Amino acid sequence: MLGETSGIIDTCMMPAWKSDNEVNEWFPEPWRSKRRLPAMLRNMYPAPTGIAPYGEFLDEARGPDDSFPGSDPGKIIGRMDADGVSQAVLMPQTRGPQPDIDMGTVLCAATNKWLAAQWLGKEGMQDRFLGTIRVNAEDPSAAVEEIETWAAHPKMVQIGIPLDARRPYGQRNYFPIWEAAAKYHMPVAIHSDGSASANYAPTMVGYPRKYIDFTSQESINYIHHVASFIMEGVFERLPDLKILLADGGHDMAMTLMWRMDIDFPISRHEVPWMTMPPSGYLRPHLRFRTARMEGPPPGPRRVEWLKASEAADLLVYGSNYPHWTAMHPQDVFPDLTEEQQKQVLRGNALELYAARLAQTPVRA
Amino acid sequence: MTSDVAVAGPRETRLRDVKEGGLILGAQRRVTTIDCDVHPWVLPRDVVEFVPEPWRTRYYTNRMGDADQAILFYHPPVTMRMDAPGPGRAPGEDCEDMDVFHRQVLQEGGTDYAMILPAGRTKWWDPEWETAWCTGVNEYLARTWLGTHNWHDRYVGSIRVSPGDPEGAIREIRKWAGHPAIRQVIFAPETLTAPAGHPMYRPVFAEAAAHGLPIGMHIGRESSMQSMSPVGYASYHIEAMGSWPTYYYAHLASMIFEGVFDRNPDLRIVCIEGGFSWLAPLMWRLDRYWDELKAEIPEVRRRPSEYVADQVRLTTQPIEEPADPEELNRLIEWMGGQQTLMFSSDYPHWDYDDPNRVRSHLPESWRHRVMCANAQELYGLPETRPTDQLDLNADVLTRYHATPPIQWSSYDYSDARASHAAD
Amino acid sequence: MRVHPTRRTESEHLRVSTQPRVVVGNVADIPAGTMRFVSVGKFGVGVYNVGGEFQAIVNYCPHHGGPVCFGSLTGRTGAGQEPYEQTYTRPGEFVRCPWHGWEYDLKDGRAVAVNKRIRKYQVEIEGDVVVLYGVK
């Protein structure tokens, strides 16, 4: 169990708009007065409210006037203080891919402005928060422009894109976005974006019926993006690019790598630009947010698992607060050595964001 | 092999293991290897006469093979082992050589029993058409692969059903339950248009369980267009391969959370050709979610991993190949694989696992369970069987010296031919 | 997690020996692009005429033990300079195992996709005949 404030970096806390409509105040006209976005809460597979988990987001994180959980910076900072977290990377949600591509772009632009003004630059909070540049992956040239706009901001440390997409992210139409991210030494964080978005069936076999069925599998879907990044040669072309799987999913990484490795010698003719088997790209390019809903139960098996899955090297701590699955630093596998826990709680994040943090000294 | 072959009487009591070197026709020998995934060739021209009307006339006269044989996307460089027999292997080559099939499936790997699975394209968009095709396939299978080709009684088989047409599926299950060689019902997971726990499929699972038949899911790969992932289509076959086990994740999670296992405690599900390194982490994950969210599904009374330990089996192929073999052992321990894993080769596909090789990679302590005992229990196969002519002639080295059934280049195998003829 | 073997194979994978000596056949009967299979040793050996040079490999794939020599010949799939550009070079100089399609360079026995080698044997042209050495 960790003791005093020890400079833990939380790589994933979700600031929220106060209400569904607040975002409009940050839109230019005619969007501001004539367009409506879907609600922030998930329309498909909403989390039950009368039974566990009692809503998608923790009620305790609401602000005055029953504002949306995560909209009150005081609550977020309170959580950070209680957990010994010195700095948090904020990951605002942008409602997933929208059918009107321009709507998605306007929304990301508004979100970034709001984040910079209301969170990153706010009096008394400046040294606690780092930020994510949200971009609309479905409009690559607009996404690149957005990155160019915010790249010089000293607190922006990464790019953020939704888990849901129209195509796996390694495909060539998206490449300029990753190129821009790599140019500015920013990792690309992929995170579930909630809401009602233009997404496809959440599993390969169609639509589950129950929330537990949907939510227990949702974070696994990163594997399609990771396979795509690897096989399309994105990591060959951008050797410094890092991807942060900000929903977790480290538990399923090993099986994915082994599976692809078996096929590599047989099928590599499709992807001759790959210079090593798929698993070779894991350590140099991928990091996973910690997630309390995955991994073995306590026991000797877990110790073996953590070693075999390179957990200490691949995991970066992220609470995902105020989602109902939010975790605390002490939830990070106690079977890791103290050194390894420090690595997960701070060291790996420092390494991940090193180039960006060189511009902004990290609070001790 | 001995020159003085004697026929043992039916009450031969001495067990002879092949390692002892003595082979007597008819003598009981210990069963050591059961291959749970072997594919026969199944061609429209052989199946059509058993397909009921009106489908037979509408879709299977005039160029019947066109749609069925069409190659789909996500194609590996070759679909099958190039040294395996089969019709139409190379242009102008028709090589349906059953002797070679028996040799490669049973003799070269020391396999005692093989589970014959008729995989292939599914008409998932029209479940009743799919039932019609399955009706034909099952009849053809029973007559040939489990009939005339099965003179040695070492093949058992699975019938195919179309779960999207529950009435038709139940009809087929009732028809074939009780056939001595039919030990399982199969469907392709991508044949379903909803996760397997959906209420529309419930009667099919109940029927199979009532007849004591396990239900196997066998991924069809190129058999179906249902290949889109939750984030769109992968570009490449090698990329899509990583996602194929997720069909099983989704169906298993659905069956668990929809109470299929709870309602049918006698049901057994087999996940075939999906590998197995995913089972342990998936179960850890599903257990955690069930611990916290189970109020949504009060009829699911046990932890997911408990249902799976009791009611789900997995076949080994494609077996993982970590650089450190100890990792494979740990993996099997994590998933309770000693009880749940069953060896499979996936003969004759291109990612085939040779039984000799798999056997040698498994630790002594559970080799027998994985290579044999778990499948024996599930499929009701005996612990001993009579030594037959195939055992007498078995030699793993024939694969290196016998002329392959298909010749892919201008090679001169005269030397191999000569040596094979001498056997 | 090391999923890919990286240890070196033995440095002397090419067995050089004068015995046994096996006459494979007449040079004229094994033209370029063809192979003569010789049933010697445990697994047999494939003797290939690769553009005038003879190469011999054991008929046993280091992957899973498949009969390599019963596979087809192919060239090397490679990457070009531009993204997504593919190249195909040295046609007929690689053998593809009939089981899983692992490809081996007949010149040096190296696998194309992994760090493994298939065992090679010495083969010489002596007058009109092709001679294979060292297969026990």
Per-residue pLDDT of chain C (136 residues; tens, 9 = 90+): 333 333 333 444 455 556 789 999 999 999 999 999 999 999 999 999 999 999 999 999 999 999 999 999 999 999 999 999 999 999 999 999 999 999 999 999 999 999 999 999 999 999 999 999 999 8
Q: What value does the mean pLDDT of chain B take?
A: 87
- Is C111 in Cβ contact with A279 (below 8 Å)? no
Collect all residues of chain A within an 8 Å Cβ-Cβ radius of residue B293: 52-53, 211-212, 215-216
Pick from C6, C36, C39: CB nearest B401: C39
Q: What is the pLDDT along chain A (364 residues), one digit of tens a residue?
A: 233 345 999 999 999 999 999 999 999 999 999 999 999 998 899 999 999 999 999 999 999 999 999 999 999 999 999 999 999 999 999 999 999 999 999 999 999 999 999 999 998 887 899 999 999 999 999 999 999 999 999 999 999 999 999 999 999 999 999 999 999 999 999 999 987 888 899 999 999 999 999 999 999 999 999 999 999 999 999 999 999 999 999 999 999 999 999 889 988 999 999 999 999 999 999 999 999 999 999 988 899 999 999 999 999 999 999 999 999 999 999 999 999 999 999 999 999 999 998 865 555 4
Average pLDDT over residues B23-33: 94
Please tell me whether residue C115 adopts helix, strand or coil conformation: coil
- pLDDT recorded at residue A294: 97
Q: What is the pLDDT of residues B282-301, one digit of tens each?
A: 999 999 999 999 999 999 99
CA A350 to chain centre: 16
CATH number at residue C120: 2.102.10.10
Amino acid (one-letter) located at A203: T
Lowest mean pLDDT among A104-113, A277-286, B21-30, B310-319: B21-30
CATH number at residue B154: 3.20.20.140
- Is C70 in Cβ contact with B82 (below 8 Å)? yes
Q: What is the pLDDT of residues B215-244, one digit of tens each?
A: 999 987 655 668 899 999 999 999 998 888
Identify the closest residue of chain B to A209 by CA–CA distance.
Answer: B198
Which residue range(s) make up the domain with C89? 14-133
In a domain, C7, yes or no: no
In a domain, C5, yes or no: no
C4 and chain A: CB distance < 8 Å anywhere?
A: yes
- pLDDT recorded at residue B65: 75
In a domain, C4, yes or no: no
Structure tokens at B70: 């069409």
- Is A310 in Cβ contact with C1 (below 8 Å)? yes
pLDDT at residue B115 is higher than 80? yes
Are B305 and B393 part of one and the same domain? no
Structure tokens at B303: 């932890």
In a domain, C75, yes or no: yes
Collect all residues of chain B within an 8 Å Cβ-Cβ radius of residue A267: 76-77, 236-238, 241
pTM: 0.93
Question: What's the structural domain count of chain C?
Answer: 1
- pLDDT recorded at residue B323: 75
Structure tokens at B405: 């059934």
pLDDT at residue B89 is higher than 80? no
Identify the closest residue of chain B to A219 by CA–CA distance.
Answer: B285
Are B379 and B393 part of one and the same domain? no
ipTM confidence score? 0.96
Q: How many CB pairs under 8 A join B and C?
A: 97
- Is B324 in Cβ contact with C39 (below 8 Å)? no
Count of Cβ atoms closer than 10 Å to residue B227 Cβ: 20
Please tell me whether residue A160 adopts helix, strand or coil conformation: strand
Question: What's the structural domain count of chain B?
Answer: 2
Mutation target for B interface from C36, C70, C96, C132: give the one with most B CBs within 10 A.
C70
Collect all residues of chain B within an 8 Å Cβ-Cβ radius of residue A208: 195, 250, 253-254, 257
Which residue range(s) make up the domain with B202? 31-383
- pLDDT recorded at residue B179: 97
B27 and chain A: CB distance < 8 Å anywhere?
A: no
CB B416 within 8 A of CB B401: yes
pLDDT at residue B372 is higher than 70? yes
How many percent of chain B have pLDDT more than 70?
A: 87
Q: What is the pLDDT of residues B186-212, one digit of tens each?
A: 998 888 999 999 999 999 999 999 999
Interface of B with A in 5-24 (CB under 8 A): none
Match 């139960």 to its residue by tokens.
Answer: A297
Structure tokens at C79: 């990457």
Average pLDDT over residues B112-132: 92
B379 and chain A: CB distance < 8 Å anywhere?
A: no
Pick from C3, C36, C98: CB nearest B322: C3
Are B161 and B35 part of one and the same domain? yes
Pick from B287, B295, B318: CB nearest A52: B295
Identify the closest residue of chain C to B321 by CA–CA distance.
Answer: C3
- Is A310 in Cβ contact with C102 (below 8 Å)? no
Please tell me whether residue C76 adopts helix, strand or coil conformation: strand
Pick from B77, B83, B350: CB nearest C67: B83
Structure tokens at B372: 């044999």
Mutation target for C interface from A171, A251, A262, A266: give the one with most C CBs within 10 A.
A266
Are B400 and B307 part of one and the same domain? no
Structural domains of chain A, ranges and CATH numbers in brackets: 8-357 (3.20.20.140)
Mutation target for B interface from A267, A281, A301: give the one with most B CBs within 10 A.
A267
Are B85 and B9 part of one and the same domain? no
Mutation target for B interface from C61, C99, C116: give the one with most B CBs within 10 A.
C99
Identify the closest residue of chain C to B235 by CA–CA distance.
Answer: C84
Model confidence at B8, in pLDDT bands (50, 70, 90)?
very low
Collect all residues of chain B within an 8 Å Cβ-Cβ radius of residue A206: 192-195
Identify the closest residue of chain C to B348 by CA–CA distance.
Answer: C99
Mutation target for A interface from B252, B293, B351: give the one with most A CBs within 10 A.
B293
Pick from A237, A257, A273: CB nearest C3: A257
CA dist B299 and B306 (Å) reads 15
Average pLDDT over residues B40-62: 92
Collect all residues of chain B within an 8 Å Cβ-Cβ radius of residue C67: 83, 399-400, 404
- pLDDT recorded at residue B422: 43
Are B322 and B410 part of one and the same domain? no
Strand A129-134 and strand A156-162: pairing? parallel
Contacting chains of B (3 CB pairs or more, <8 Å) are A, C
Are B100 and B19 part of one and the same domain? no
- pLDDT recorded at residue B120: 79
B297 and chain A: CB distance < 8 Å anywhere?
A: yes
pLDDT at residue B147 is higher than 90? yes
The 3-class SS string of A48-70 reads CCCCCCCCCECHHHCEHHHECCC
- pLDDT recorded at residue B76: 80
Pick from B350, B399, B414: CB nearest C67: B399
Q: How near does any CA of chain C get to the CA of A217, in Å? A: 24
Mutation target for B interface from A164, A199, A213, A324: give the one with most B CBs within 10 A.
A213
Q: What is the pLDDT of residues B249-267, one digit of tens each?
A: 999 999 999 999 999 999 9
Interface of C with A in 60-119 (CB under 8 A): 63, 77-79, 83-84, 86-87, 100-103, 111-114
Identify the closest residue of chain C to B354 by CA–CA distance.
Answer: C64
Q: What is the pLDDT of residues B151-173, one digit of tens each?
A: 999 999 999 999 999 999 999 99
CA dist A275 and A95 (Å) reads 37
